[in-house]
């Protein structure tokens, strides 16, 4: 029997193969492609067609999404606690979503109801595969016999080492979703200027540079990696993209020129996070040698 259960939400961008291989439970966000349709952002047995989704998004523009609420967390967590298992949950950044706060609320209530059990919540201050790196690492540590507390402590320390950089084709998706300021959004209004964005120390999205043209923006991400990444082939490096597989592979090839890797994890953005990043987004996640101030 496993020593504890690992949960994350669908923002972590973990596909069913990764979730099942690592015994990670995923709680889905929901999005609303139109006023009559609700779509779970993760459903086992229903592979996500990223190309079709982002093609539709290109035509419709930004769509509405919803966070996971405390009731949904309670529904997901309580059967596990009843079965005698403790829980470690990795949340989407509190800087861009209220989901982490809802998880904490549910965890506190369940802790009182099941005082012999433990429910811990990690605010990863990340999204997409930047968030997903943490449950993947915890699952590996669990296989090697690490305790819930050891995995929690590892994540709390190393989340301050995570670098999150990305570029987008159209800032209106992030702006209309409330993820960036008006000032940051104005950068993208200049023809052919591609913004370089990052997740800051509070997990918020901020501008950190710009490039002229798409390839230059991807080269800028690679340059940041070459400058800031730890030189350790065992560290997880990940790339997310919104129906931009060729660009993601181009970025991966640039990274390989400066480092040796066991692998670079590449996945299409899941629907909720991708709805805010918009079609054409490419994000890069890696660890710096030290905590980032």
22 and 155 co-located in one domain: yes
Q: Are residues 138 and 189 in the same domain?
A: no
Q: For position 204, what pLDDT does the model report?
A: 87
270 & 231 share domain: yes
* Boundary (domain end) residue, out of 125, 159, 193: 159
What pLDDT does residue 179 have?
47
- Give the per-residue pLDDT at 178: 47
Q: Is residue 82 domain-shared with residue 143, that is, in the same domain? A: yes
Q: DSSP secondary structure string, 71-119?
A: HHHHHHHHHHHHTT--EEEEEPPTTT-SHHHHHHHHHHHHHHHSTTS-E
What is the domain extent for residue 174? 161-287
Q: Tell me the three state secondary structure of residue 236.
A: coil
54 within domain boundaries: no
Query: Burial, 228: exposed, middle or buried (Cβ in 10 Å; 0-12, 13-18, 19+)?
Result: middle
Residue at 114 is within a domain? yes
| In contact, 199 and 125? CB cutoff 8 Å | yes
Instruction: Fill in the DSSP letter of residue 213.
Output: S
User: What dihedral do alpha carbons 239, 278, 67, 86 form, nearest 10°?
Assistant: -10
| CATH number of domain containing 240 | 3.30.1180.10
For the chain, the domain total comes to 2
**Maximum C-alpha span of the chain:** 59
Show pLDDT as tens, one digit a residue, over the chain (293 residues): 578 999 999 999 999 999 999 999 999 999 998 888 899 999 999 989 999 999 999 888 888 889 999 999 999 999 999 999 999 999 999 999 999 999 999 999 999 999 999 999 999 999 999 999 999 999 999 999 999 999 999 999 999 999 999 998 776 666 554 444 555 555 555 567 788 889 998 888 888 888 888 899 999 999 999 999 988 877 889 999 999 999 999 999 999 988 877 789 999 999 998 888 889 999 999 999 998 86
Tell me, yes or no, whether 165 and 193 share the same domain: yes
pLDDT at 222: 97
Same domain (yes/no): 155, 165: no
CATH number at residue 110: 3.40.50.10440
Distance CA 193, CA 213 (A): 6
Same domain, 17 and 134: yes
Same domain, 203 and 125: no
Hey, is 259 helix, strand or coil? coil
Which of the listed residues 159, 185, 207 is the one where a domain comes to its end? 159
One domain for residues 122 and 167: no
Distance CA 248, CA 230 (A): 20
Question: What pLDDT is stored for residue 284 in this prediction?
Answer: 98
The pTM for the full model equals 0.92
The H helix count followed by the E strand count for the chain is 11, 13
Of the candidates 159, 194, 214, which is a domain's last residue?
Answer: 159
Q: What does the pLDDT read at residue 258?
A: 82
């Amino acid at each position: 029997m496993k020593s504890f259960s690992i949960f994350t939400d669908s923002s972590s961008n973990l596909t069913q193969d990764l979730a099942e291989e690592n015994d990670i439970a995923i709680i889905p966000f929901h999005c609303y492609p139109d006023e009559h349709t609700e779509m779970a952002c993760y459903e086992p047995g229903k592979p996500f067609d990223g190309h079709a989704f982002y093609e539709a998004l290109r035509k419709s523009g930004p769509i509405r999404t919803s966070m996971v609420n405390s009731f949904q967390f309670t529904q997901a967590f309580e059967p596990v606690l009843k079965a005698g298992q403790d829980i470690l949950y990795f949340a989407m950044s509190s800087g861009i979503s209220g989901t982490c706060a809802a998880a904490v609320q549910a965890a506190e209530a369940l802790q009182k109801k099941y005082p012999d059990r433990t429910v811990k919540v990690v605010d990863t201050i990340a999204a997409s595969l930047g968030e997903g790196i943490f449950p993947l690492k915890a699952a590996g540590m669990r296989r090697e016999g690490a305790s819930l507390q050891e995995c929690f402590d590892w994540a709390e320390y190393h989340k301050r080492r995570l670098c999150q950089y990305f570029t987008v084709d159209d800032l209106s998706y992030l702006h209309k979703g409330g993820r960036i300021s008006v000032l940051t959004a104005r950068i993208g209004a200049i023809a052919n200027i591609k913004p370089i964005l990052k997740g800051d120390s509070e997990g918020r999205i901020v501008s950190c540079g710009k490039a002229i043209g798409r390839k230059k923006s991807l080269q800028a991400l690679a340059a940041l990696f070459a400058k800031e990444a730890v030189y350790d082939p065992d560290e997880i490096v990940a790339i997310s993209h919104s129906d931009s597989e060729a660009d993601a592979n181009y970025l991966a090839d640039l990274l390989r020129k400066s480092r040796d890797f066991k692998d670079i994890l590449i996945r299409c953005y899941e629907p909720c996070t991708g709805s805010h990043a918009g079609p054409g987004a490419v994000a890069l996640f890696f660890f710096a040698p030290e905590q980032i101030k």
